[in-house]
Chains A and B, each alone.
Chain A
Amino acid sequence: MRGKWRLRWKSRRLLFLLPGFAGVLLFYILPFLEVVRRSFFKAGNNAFVGVDNYHSVFENGAFAIAVRNTALYLAMGVPCLMGISLFLAMLLRHLAVRRRFVSAMLLPMAVPAAVMVLTLRILVDRQGVLNGILTNVSEKYEVISGFIPIDYMNSEWALVVVLFSFLWKNTGYMVILWLAGLSALPREVEEAAKVDGAGRWQSWHYIIRPGLSGSFYTIGMLSVLQIFKSYREVWMVAGSYPQEQIYFLQHLLQNWYLKLEFDRMAALTVILSLVLLVVCLLLQKRLEQREKRAKRG
């Protein structure tokens, strides 16, 4: 009886996963494996070329630039977003009106990319609204004496603009995530520590930060995801060949796709997915270790 029940149970639970997994297999995993195979072949005549495609990726000048820019954008964007949103969440968490703030900050999520791009163009053009305001301020108060209008999208400021629009769009999202993580912390511990004379920094360091370690992992992941998604706006503002500072790996992939350079593109696809996979695994390992240590301690 028990055995029969178990068999049925097992086959049932497979049925839950099967349709979804079949689709994932068909549209993601199998074609990806095909790309892995193709990355070792020449695109035109299907001749085996070993690691030549990988060589040609690594020797590509645009690849080096795109790697540097993407790394820089990730290294600036993720900590900035996580830091700012955590700071805001810490401020908001005991506030009665925090829902109002959160709603206001979440609004950009509903704004379509094209709408955001249109307002951005008017704001940060060399003769745009932002430069107009800055010039007015500098003339009136002589704070920034002799302000020269900046051509934001065509200078090294481009990355800053991209970074700001990324923060603009995603801060609210992350604030909610942090608030959720914070609300799951037992309040009594913190209050007890306060009674025992722990300062703000001490309670942050010994109670809040360790309690948030799981949130750090999830929010870090989602921040990276949002960074990748922000390519859409970058591309819509600046096109396929933007200012060098904001030429990312995604531009490179997209341009190779349009030029039908599928062999190099296959190699780059494999490289990038491997990097992402390794980073994910390392992060997860570290999280597990930390949890183990927390349990032992």
Chain B
Amino acid sequence: MLEIRKKWKKRRGAWAAAVICLFPAALICAPLLMIPGGALMDGAEINRILAPVLGEGKGFAVWHLIPLYPTIGHFYRLLIESPAFYQLFWNTVGMTAAILFGQLAVGLPSAWAFAAFQFRGRDFLFGLYVVLMLLPFQVMLLPQYIILQKLELYNHPAAVILPAIFSTFPVFIMYRGFTQIDAEIMEAARLDGAGELQIFLQIGLTLGKMGIQSAVVLSFLENWNLVEQPMAFLEEQAKWPLSLYLPQIDIGQAGFAFAVSVVVLIPALFVFALGQDALEEGIACIGVKQ
């Protein structure tokens, strides 16, 4: 008895902490539970329960977590009867892939240069990258509009892709990952006669893997969701990404909108689940001071 009490006393703090943390965790997850139910809900049902929000009824909207009459009608309409959806879906896939590939090709060596070398102006340049990273898109809107007009890229998918490739955020994340590598390892490799390229490819890319992976995951989540950039630089709707398809759906078709949500969410969740460990550890190495 005494032992149990002692154990309890020791664990009391942990239990209290867990219980306190349960609230925010539940609060954060709760709204997400609406999505699958909504996507499977029959149009009449969802319009009935949302009638007050649609301005067609008194009282308040309610929500059924589990639909009364589940149907896959919305998915049928979306996946079989909406060719526009596929157009935008592949736009998104293409854009995201191009951006990620470009960011890796260009950002990886940049991040390595900041992490591994000391050169004149390094601190200044890195500070500049950080400020560029912090600038909201709307502040860079006019400068980018000007350069895209000059290069005649306006209304071309490259107008969204190219500036994103040279975004400094992934450089910052990957840099943080690289700074975790012990300087002595690189010194030893240099003494053994390894070339800079060899060091980068063999030491940097293996030991800085976490930072790279988390940069990829963060970039994916960001670029899978581009809203402002395509809105500003792409005039033709046929060139738009999927993230601009959903806002166009009227709330009167909420069931259909939820079905689109599910389809947009699935790849994001998939990448999220795949890269979660990398993401967590990668984000973690941003947080640690080098």
Query: Are B60 and A112 interface neighbours, CB within 8 A?
Result: no
Q: Does A250 contact B (CB under 8 A)?
A: yes
Compute how far the CA of A276 lies from the CA of B162 in the bound complex, rounded to whole angstroms: 24
Within 8 A of B (CB), among A1-27: 9-10, 12-17, 19-21, 23-24, 26-27
Question: Is B72 at the interface (CB under 8 A from chain A)?
Answer: no
Asked if A176 and B60 make an inter-chain contact with CB atoms under 8 angstroms apart, the answer reads no
A203 within 8 A of B: no
Is B171 an interface position by the 8 A CB rule? yes
A92 to B20, CA, bound (A): 10
User: Are the C-beta atoms of A24 and B265 separated by less than 8 Å?
Assistant: no
CB-CB < 8 A to A195: which residues of B?
none
A243 at the binding interface (Cβ < 8 Å): no
Whether the Cβ atoms of A172 and B28 lie closer than 8 Å is yes
| Interface class of chain B by DSSP | helix
The reply to whether B135 and A273 contact each other, CB–CB distance below 8 Å, is: yes
Q: CB of A242 within 8 A of chain B? A: no
Q: Which residues of B have CB within 8 Å of A181? A: 287-289
Q: Which of B83-91, B93-101, B272-280 contacts A (4 or more CB under 8 A)?
A: B272-280
Partner of B113 from the list A16, A113, A135 (CB cut-off 8 Å) is A16
Q: Which chain A residues (227-256) contact chain B, with CB distance < 8 Å?
A: 228-229, 231-232, 235-236, 249-250, 253-254
Q: Does B70 contact A (CB under 8 A)?
A: no
Within 8 A of A (CB), among B60-89: 60-63
Question: In the bound complex, how far is the Cα of B60 from the Cα of A34, in angstroms?
Answer: 53
Known contacts being A122-B254, A266-B142, A276-B134, is A16 close to B59, with CB within 8 Å? no
* Cross-chain contact B246 with A114 (CB below 8 angstroms): yes
Check: A102 CB closer than 8 A to any chain B CB.
yes
User: CB-CB < 8 A to A131: which residues of B?
Assistant: 60
With A16-B110, A20-B109 already in contact, the answer to whether A92 and B246 are too (CB < 8 A) is no
Q: How far is the CA of A109 from the CA of B117 in the complex (A)?
A: 33
Query: Using a CB-CB cutoff of 8 Å, which residues 201-218 of chain A contact chain B?
Result: 214-215, 218
Residue of A nearest to B149 (CB): A31
Q: Which residues of A contact B140 (CB under 8 A)?
A: 28, 32, 269
- Give the chain B neighbours of A78 by CB distance below 8 A: none
Residue B50 is within 8 A (CB to CB) of chain A in the complex? yes
Q: Which residue of B lies closest to A221 (CB)?
A: B134
Contact with A along B215-230 (1 / 0, CB 8 A): 0000001001101100
A218 to B224, CA, bound (A): 25
In the complex, per-residue mask of B132-148: 1 if CB is within 8 Å of any chain A CB, else 0: 11111111111111110
Which of A48-56, A93-101, A154-162, A186-194 forms part of the interface with chain B? A93-101
Q: Which of the residues A104, A266, A281 comes within 8 Å of B25, measured between beta carbons?
A: A104
* Contact across chains for A177 and B284 when beta carbons are under 8 A apart: yes
Q: How many Å from the CB of A281 to the closest CB on chain B? A: 8
Q: Closest approach, in angstroms, between the C-beta of A111 and any C-beta of chain B?
A: 7
A17 and B17 alpha carbons, distance in the complex (Å)? 46
Tell me whether A111 and B50 are in contact (CB under 8 A).
no
Bound state CA distance, A179 and B53, in angstroms? Answer: 40
When C-beta atoms are compared, the residue in chain B nearest to A213 turns out to be B289
Closest-by-CB residue of B relative to A164 is: B27
B28 touches A168 (CB 8 A): yes
A127 to B186, CA, bound (A): 63
Q: Which residues of B contact A38 (CB under 8 A)?
A: 146
Judge whether B59 and A132 touch: CB under 8 Å.
yes
A231 touches B200 (CB 8 A): no
Of the residues A94, A127, A224, A265, contact of B53 by C-beta under 8 Å? A127
A110/B283 contact (C-beta < 8 A), A31-B144, A266-B142 known: no
Contact in complex: B147, A30 (CB < 8 Å) = yes
**Does B261 have its Cβ within 8 Å of any Cβ on chain A?**
yes
Q: Which residues of B contact A91 (CB under 8 A)?
A: 17, 20-21
Q: A34-B143, A125-B61, A225-B133 are in contact. Are A184 and B258 (CB under 8 A)?
A: no
1/0 contact string of B30-61 vs chain A (CB within 8 Å): 01101100000000000000101100011111
Residues of A within 8 A of B138 (CB): 231, 249-250, 253-254, 257
Q: Can you list 16 A-B pairs with a CB-CB distance of less than 8 A?
A: A16-B117, A24-B166, A105-B25, A112-B243, A127-B59, A127-B61, A128-B60, A129-B62, A228-B134, A253-B139, A257-B142, A266-B142, A272-B135, A276-B134, A281-B127, A284-B127
Closest 3 CB pairs of A and B: A132-B60, A214-B289, A20-B110
Q: Which residues of A contact B (CB under 8 A)?
A: 9-10, 12-17, 19-21, 23-24, 26-32, 34-35, 38, 84, 88, 91-92, 94-97, 99, 101-123, 125, 127-129, 131-132, 135, 149, 168, 171-173, 176-181, 183-184, 214-215, 218-219, 221-222, 224-225, 228-229, 231-232, 235-236, 249-250, 253-254, 257, 262, 265-266, 269, 272-273, 276-277, 280-281, 284
B residues with a Cβ closer than 8 A to A are 13-14, 17-18, 20-22, 24-25, 27-29, 31-32, 34-35, 50, 52-53, 57-63, 105-107, 109-110, 112-114, 116-117, 119, 125, 127-147, 162-163, 165-166, 168, 171, 195-197, 200, 221, 224-225, 227-228, 232, 243, 246-247, 251, 254, 257-258, 261, 264-265, 268-269, 271-272, 276, 279-280, 283-289
